[in-house]
Chain A
Amino acid sequence: MILQSLEIDPKAFEARTGWALKPEGACKGDVCVPLPADALRGGKLDARILSQRLGMPLIQDVDAGVWCLGPEAMGRALTSATAPEMVLPDWTGKQFHLSSLRGQKVLIVTWSSW
């Protein structure tokens, strides 16, 4: 996720990465990683602590003054088989939540114009 500062809004972090913040730490499906008490300060998450604890690369573009926090490097592309929430605009611009299809079988397919 793109960061303008190293302090992250927890809700934005959860929506973008599929990790959920719980009393036991950051969780994805049945995997939970404990976070130190100072990971959350003044209602904001510290990107450097998340990067270190979850194995998420934190890359800065110095010229533009922005960072990107990448996905967790835990060996496999999927850390859990529980489908993460995914929020993306549909072709009319309306936000679509993958979780709105719970109760149905879902096939996600990627495509491009050629």
Chain B
Amino acid sequence: MWQAVRSELHPKGLEVVTVALDVDPQAARGWIEQTPPQHPSLIDSAHQVDELFGVVNVPNGVWIDEDGMIVRPAEPAWPERDNPPDYQKLADSPEVPEQLRETLKLAGGIRTQPVEYMTALRDWVANGKTSKYALDSDEVIARSGSRGKAEAEAAARFELGKYLWDAGRQDLAPKHWREAHRLQPANWTYKRQAWTLADPFQGPTALYDSCWVNDVRKIGAENYYPPLDLSPGRAK
């Protein structure tokens, strides 16, 4: 999905680093191998990007300048696509498995802003520090997500659960994940990871109180991603 962005902007000085979350590493490798990327394509089974950069969903993007300074914190990020999927049409297709139909219907209602996002990205690549989309350090910290005790513990609970799951203690992992979900309900990567391991379609299971379809329905598909805040920083 990001290869076209990389091809366009790498000659102008941008490197794209993709980070695979909430997937089984073997499954991620399968996807990546279909079209081996030219850019670094990483696998983050413990969700380090959540901890280090405040990522809470996929796709989320973070901008880092030439000096290693973050100039936009984690926010929803979409590339423009020539042929975006028509979710409603897919949902109506007789070939779609029944358990995916509701997911696809909801996916059709999710707000995405690829044109706005890519306009901002291109502007930054062209203009660097003087781009109105490049934020100063105080603004970057202020606009990064909240991390109080609850969010910090959610991160620790998530990582502990993932470690236990991978270590073969699948009996011990869910209680930590349920805690992570309770402590930071807005972190979709924690929920999606847990649901995916219980059911590849992230459908309802006895292990968790909720599932993707129910949680998205609860908040409304249009609120799945917060709107992009592309207002310039105070210093600009």
Contacts and interface: CB of A to CB of B under 8 A. Distances in A.
Contact of B41 (A66, A71, A81, A90): A90
Given A86-B49, A88-B19, A76 B145 contact: yes
B64 A110 contact: no
Nearest to B79: A109
Given A77-B145, A82-B70, A104-B66, A110 B176 contact: no
Interface string B135-157: 01110111011111101110111
A22 to B, nearest CB: 17
Nearest to A109: B61
Contacts of B29: 91
Contacts of B67: 102
Interface in B68-104: 68-71, 73-74, 77
B172 A64 contact: yes
A99 B52 CA distance: 14
B27 interface: yes
Contacts of A91: 20, 28-29, 32-33, 37, 41-43
Interface in A82-103: 82-84, 86, 88-91, 96, 98-99, 101-103
Contacts of A106: 14-17, 63-64
A30 B8 CA distance: 34
A34 B33 CA distance: 46
Q: Which 8 A-B pairs have the closest CB atoms?
A: A77-B54, A70-B156, A81-B137, A73-B152, A78-B144, A68-B160, A77-B144, A77-B145
Given A59-B160, A64-B172, A107-B61, A83 B16 contact: no
Contacts of A59: 153, 156-157, 160, 176
A109 B75 CA distance: 10
B121 to A, nearest CB: 7
